[in-house]
A and B are shown apart, each in its own frame.
Chain A
Amino acid sequence: MDFINPQVVDLSRLQFALTALYHFMFVPLTLGLTFMLAAMETVYVVTGRKIYRDMAQFWGKLFGINFAIGVATGLTMEFEFGTNWSMYSHFFGDMFGTPLAIEGLMAFFMESTFVGLMFFGWDRLSKPGHLAITYLVALGSNLSALWILIANAGMNVPEGAHFDADTMRMQFDSFVHVVFSQDAQAKFVHTSVAGYVAASMFVMGISAFYLLRGQHRELAARSFRMAALFGIISSVAVITLGDVLGRMDYEKQPTKIAAIEGLWHTTKPPYEPWILAALPDDEKQVNHFEINIPYVLTPLITHSFNQPVIGMYELEEQAGPRIRSGIIALTALRRYGETHDKADLNLFNAHQDDMGFGFLATRHAPNQDVTNIPADQLDAVVKQTQPDILPNVFVTFWSFRFMVFLGGYFFAIFAVAALLSLKNRLEANPWLLKATMWSIPLPILATEFGWITAEAGRQPWTVFNKLPTFLSASGHSTGYMVFSLAGFALLYSVFIAAELYLMFRFARLGPEEHGTHHDETDALLSHFHGSHA
Chain B
Amino acid sequence: MTLIATEELRSMKIFRLAGLALALVVALLFAVFVGDQGPWYFAWVIGTVMIVLISGAGAVLLDAQEDGVANTEKLS
Complex contact flag A–B (Cβ < 8 Å) = yes
- Residue count of chain A within 8 Å CB distance of chain B: 38
Q: Beyond the given A39-B55, A193-B47, A229-B54, please list 12 additional residue pairs across the A-B interface where CB-CB is below 8 A.
A: A38-B52, A42-B52, A47-B63, A179-B38, A182-B40, A188-B41, A188-B44, A189-B41, A192-B44, A193-B44, A222-B63, A226-B56
Contact A422 to B59, CB < 8 A, known contacts A35-B52, A189-B41: no
Contacts A43-B59, A49-B63, A225-B59 given; does A186 touch B54 at CB 8 Å: no
Q: Is A62 an interface residue (CB 8 A)?
A: no
**B residues less than 8 Å from A180 (CB atoms):** 37-38, 41
Q: Is the interface of B mostly helix, strand, loop or mixed?
A: helix
Most buried by B among A186, A221, A226: A226
Contact size range, B: 20 to 34
Query: Which chain A residues have a beta carbon within 8 Å of chain B's beta carbons?
Result: 35-36, 38-40, 42-43, 46-47, 49, 52, 176, 179-180, 182, 185-186, 188-189, 192-193, 196, 221-222, 225-230, 233-234, 237, 241, 244, 421-422, 424
Asked if A176 and B37 sit within 8 Å, CB to CB, the answer is: yes
Cβ contacts under 8 Å, A192 to chain B:
44
In the complex the two chains form, is A233's CB within 8 Å of B59's CB?
A: no
Task: Determine if B9 is an interface residue (Cβ-Cβ < 8 Å).
Answer: no
- A226 and B37 in contact, given A188-B44, A189-B43, A422-B61 (Cβ under 8 angstroms): no
- Chain A residues with Cβ below 8 Å from B53 are 39
Interface members, chain B 23-58 (any A CB < 8 Å): 37-41, 43-44, 47-48, 50-56, 58
- Check A422–B58 contact: CB distance below 8 A: yes
11 example contacts (A-B, Cβ-Cβ < 8 A) are as follows A40-B59, A176-B37, A180-B37, A182-B40, A185-B41, A189-B40, A192-B44, A193-B47, A230-B51, A421-B58, A424-B62
Asked if B37 contacts A221 (CB within 8 A), the reply is no
Contact bitstring B55-76, A, C-beta under 8 A = 1, else 0: 1101111110100000000000
In the complex, residue of chain A having the shortest beta-carbon distance to the beta carbon of B52: A39
A225 vs B62: C-alpha distance when bound (angstroms): 8
Interface SS majority for chain A: helix
Interface pair A227/B41, CB less than 8 Å apart: no
Whether A42 pairs with B56 at a CB distance below 8 angstroms is yes
Chain A residue nearest in CB terms to B34? A180
How many Å from the CB of A157 to the closest CB on chain B? 14
Residues of B within 8 A of A222 (CB): 59, 62-63
Question: What 6 A-B pairs are tightest by C-beta distance, nearest first?
Answer: A185-B40, A229-B55, A226-B55, A229-B58, A39-B52, A230-B55
